[in-house]
């Protein structure tokens, strides 16, 4: 067989059912081998969209997402998506075609150094020089993508390697099992710190669910009752019934979460990385707390905040080892009081739609186990604040890179990964336009994604910062000449509807969810609505700005 056929055979034997991509000259042999393969290929309309769909597929399902692109511009177009996958630790394998080795280095047509471009945006990347290495490299790529802290891996395959003949029967190799560290972890130290704590608090990131350790987390909390907060990527990790959950912490976190973190004397960091959007002013973050840091990635320990105790390894195995009965009932009661005192308010005056309330209504109306894919900006923070999720795989938000244009293609991937579940793309009028071409993918495959555009005719988050921190100088954030979004959807045979009043919300949501196919709901809101609370840049997390104080 040819190298190109080997690639497809490998994917089939690996159990890959769905891939996303866009053909071009240097990857034509692989697309030829794909013809009539049982691997289902979804043609995106821009390689960035295809790679985001692979990310959405991976994040919604826990399986590896696979995308393909040709050399040159095809490959450069996936760089942003790979960076997004790197910063959010998403297992993705990207296969790119490359010009033949005979012309490589001669600035051939659609030639660019993809291996070089990939270095800072992947966990690892390969250039295949010999067809005899191809199967081993593909296996390594899949192994690396899922092992330890997951991440994206790129395999660049020159056209001559795709066309080269190779004689082999089975192409899959034995997957390497992740090495188990037998080092003794300081469980006793961690348990002692927990037992000594008067005000312990668990700070939960995306690493817990990625380790498939949510059952262990609930068991740990049942044994070691302590208040919990989550990062953006940890949302949905804590059982809805847990009475001491205070919500998201950080720049747009809840006041209760941020106050509790600032007051706690022990921070149990589980699969999180002290991101600057979480800590605010690092020197003033959780100033009274000792830190236990549990993570799979050694490079995260002491990277930002010193850990008094570091537990490196598998979250599933570590959490049961450190469960400790705690005696902190006063602290629990205090945190519950914070939660009540700073609960969200939805008594917004006037007829115009208030996005937080609308998203709360959406959250209450959407079917159980729905997946919500966000874009980036004000709507993203409103989703994180006001919607409720039963699992982190139901809330896909571009966390680390903060990539506008993520939501729509991610929703395509999520729906294809979980065809039994409702998938909703919540976007803003700025973000939606960044990968709007993927409406064509939805049209072609009749993917029943529900799209909600929250439209304030502005780049709202930037505008908010201009208002608060740049003397109301609204430089290049006016989008009042947006297209007619409903007409735009209609051009792709997607029905839609526009609403602008509170009393229209319920019936509009009903119409969207009862429509059997894709649907676009265009929600007009007031440009003056901002995201609150907000920790200003450089401030400590207890110094949040609120709407009342702004």
Partner 1 sequence: MNHTLTITVNDEPAVVERLLQITRYRGFRLCGLDLKPLADTTGLLITLSVVSDKPVQLLTSQLNKLYDIKSLELATPDVAALRA
**Residues with active-site annotation:** 47, 109-110, 159, 461
DSSP line for 163-217: HSB---S----PPPPPPPP-PPP-HHHHHHHHHH-SSEEEEE-THHHHTT-HHHH
Q: Output the smallest distance, CB 124 to partner 1, in A.
A: 5
CA dist 74 and 17 (Å) reads 22
**Cβ nearer to partner 1, comparing 120 with 287:** 120
Place of tokens 């874009």: 375
Q: Output the smallest distance, CB 145 to partner 1, in A.
A: 12
**Cβ nearer to partner 1, comparing 300 with 527:** 300
**Cβ nearer to partner 1, comparing 127 with 357:** 127
* Two tokens, residue 303: 């990277």
Of 287, 326, 520, give the one whose Cα is nearest residue 425.
520
**Cβ nearer to partner 1, comparing 129 with 497:** 129
CA dist 97 and 53 (Å) reads 19
CA dist 320 and 229 (Å) reads 19
Residue 549's Cβ-count burial label (10 Å; 0-12, 13-18, 19+) is exposed
Which residues, 151 to 170, sit near partner 1 by CB under 8 A? none
Number of residues forming the site for partner 1 (CB under 8 A): 15
Of 473, 465, 463, give the one whose Cα is nearest residue 526.
463
Question: Which distant-in-sequence residues (6+ apart) come within 8 Å of 15 by Cβ?
Answer: none
Which residues, 103 to 142, sit near partner 1 by CB under 8 A? 115-116, 119-120, 124-125, 127, 129
User: Contact with partner 1 (CB under 8 A): which of 144, 201, 208, 383?
Assistant: 144
Cα 186 → chain centroid: 31
CA dist 485 and 464 (Å) reads 23
Which residues, 259 to 298, sit near partner 1 by CB under 8 A? 297-298
CA dist 499 and 193 (Å) reads 53
Q: Output the smallest distance, CB 297 to partner 1, in A.
A: 8
**Cβ nearer to partner 1, comparing 119 with 333:** 119
**Cβ nearer to partner 1, comparing 153 with 373:** 153
**Cβ nearer to partner 1, comparing 108 with 304:** 304
**Cβ nearer to partner 1, comparing 115 with 468:** 115
CA dist 276 and 68 (Å) reads 33
Q: What is the DSSP letter of 534?
A: B
CA dist 415 and 438 (Å) reads 14
**Cβ nearer to partner 1, comparing 102 with 333:** 102
CA dist 190 and 366 (Å) reads 41
Which residues, 292 to 351, sit near partner 1 by CB under 8 A? 297-299, 301-303
CA dist 60 and 439 (Å) reads 20
Question: Which distant-in-sequence residues (6+ apart) come within 8 Å of 164 by Cβ?
Answer: 2, 3, 131
Q: Output the smallest distance, CB 209 to partner 1, in A.
A: 22
Cα 220 → chain centroid: 25
**Cβ nearer to partner 1, comparing 297 with 421:** 297
Characterize 35-69 residue by residue with b for buried, 16 or more Cβ atoms within 10 angstroms of its Cβ, and e for exposed.
eeeebebbebbbbbbbbbbbbbbbbbbebbbbbbb
Question: Which distant-in-sequence residues (6+ apart) come within 8 Å of 418 by Cβ?
Answer: 60, 61, 371
Three-class secondary structure of residue 31 per DSSP:
helix
User: What residues make contact with partner 1 under the rule CB under 8 A?
Assistant: 115-116, 119-120, 124-125, 127, 129, 144, 297-299, 301-303
């Amino acid at each position: 067989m040819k190298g190109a056929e080997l690639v497809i055979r490998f994917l089939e034997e690996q159990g890959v059912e769905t891939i996303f991509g866009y053909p071009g000259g240097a990857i034509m042999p692989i697309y030829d081998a794909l013809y009539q393969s049982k691997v289902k290929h979804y043609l995106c309309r821009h390689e960035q969209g295809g790679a985001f769909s692979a990310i959405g597929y991976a994040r919604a399902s826990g399986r590896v997402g696979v995308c393909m692109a040709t050399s040159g511009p095809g490959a450069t177009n996936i760089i942003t998506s790979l960076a997004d996958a790197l910063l959010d630790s998403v297992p993705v394998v990207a296969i790119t075609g490359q010009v033949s080795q005979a012309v490589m280095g001669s600035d051939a047509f659609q030639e660019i150094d993809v291996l070089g471009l990939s270095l800072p945006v992947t966990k690892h990347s390969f250039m295949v020089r010999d067809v005899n290495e191809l199967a081993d490299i593909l296996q390594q790529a899949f192994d690396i993508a899922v092992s330890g802290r997951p991440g994206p891996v790129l395999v660049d395959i020159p056209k001559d390697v795709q066309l080269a003949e190779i004689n082999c029967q089975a192409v899959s190799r034995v997957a390497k099992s992740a090495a188990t560290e037998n080092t003794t972890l300081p469980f006793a130290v961690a348990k002692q710190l927990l037992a000594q704590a008067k005000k312990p608090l668990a700070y939960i990131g995306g690493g817990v669910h990625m380790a498939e350790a949510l059952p262990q987390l609930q068991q740990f909390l049942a044994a070691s009752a302590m208040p919990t907060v989550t990062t953006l990527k940890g949302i949905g990790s804590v059982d809805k019934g847990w009475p001491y959950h205070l919500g998201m912490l950080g720049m747009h976190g809840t006041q209760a979460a941020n106050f509790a973190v600032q007051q706690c004397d022990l921070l149990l960091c589980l699969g999180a990385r002290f991101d600057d959007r979480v800590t605010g002013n690092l020197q003033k973050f959780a100033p009274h707390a000792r830190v236990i840091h549990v993570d799979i990635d050694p490079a995260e320990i002491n990277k930002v905040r010193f850990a008094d105790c570091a537990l490196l390894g598998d979250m599933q195995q570590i959490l049961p080892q450190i469960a400790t009965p705690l005696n902190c009932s006063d602290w629990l009661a205090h945190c519950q009081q914070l939660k009540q005192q700073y609960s969200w308010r939805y008594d917004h005056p006037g007829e115009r739609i208030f996005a937080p309330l609308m998203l709360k209504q959406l959250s209450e109306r959407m079917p159980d186990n729905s997946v919500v894919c966000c874009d980036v900006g004000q709507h993203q923070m409103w989703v994180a604040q006001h919607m409720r999720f039963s699992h982190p795989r139901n809330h896909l938000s571009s966390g680390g890179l903060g990539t506008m244009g993520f939501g729509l293609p991610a929703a395509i991937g999520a729906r294809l990964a979980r065809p039994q579940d409702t998938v909703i793309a919540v976007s803003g009028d700025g973000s939606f336009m960044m990968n709007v071409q993927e409406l064509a993918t939805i049209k072609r495959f009749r993917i029943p994604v529900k799209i909600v555009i929250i439209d304030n005719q502005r780049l709202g988050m930037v505008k908010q910062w201009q208002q608060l921190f740049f003397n109301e100088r609204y430089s290049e954030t006016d989008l009042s000449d947006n297209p007619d979004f409903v007409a735009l959807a209609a051009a792709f045979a997607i029905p839609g509807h526009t609403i602008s009043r509170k009393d229209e919300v319920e019936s509009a949501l009903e119409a969207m969810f009862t429509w059997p196919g894709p649907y676009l709901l265009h929600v007009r809101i007031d440009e003056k609505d901002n995201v609150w609370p907000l920790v200003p840049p450089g401030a400590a997390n207890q110094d949040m700005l609120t709407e009342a104080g702004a």
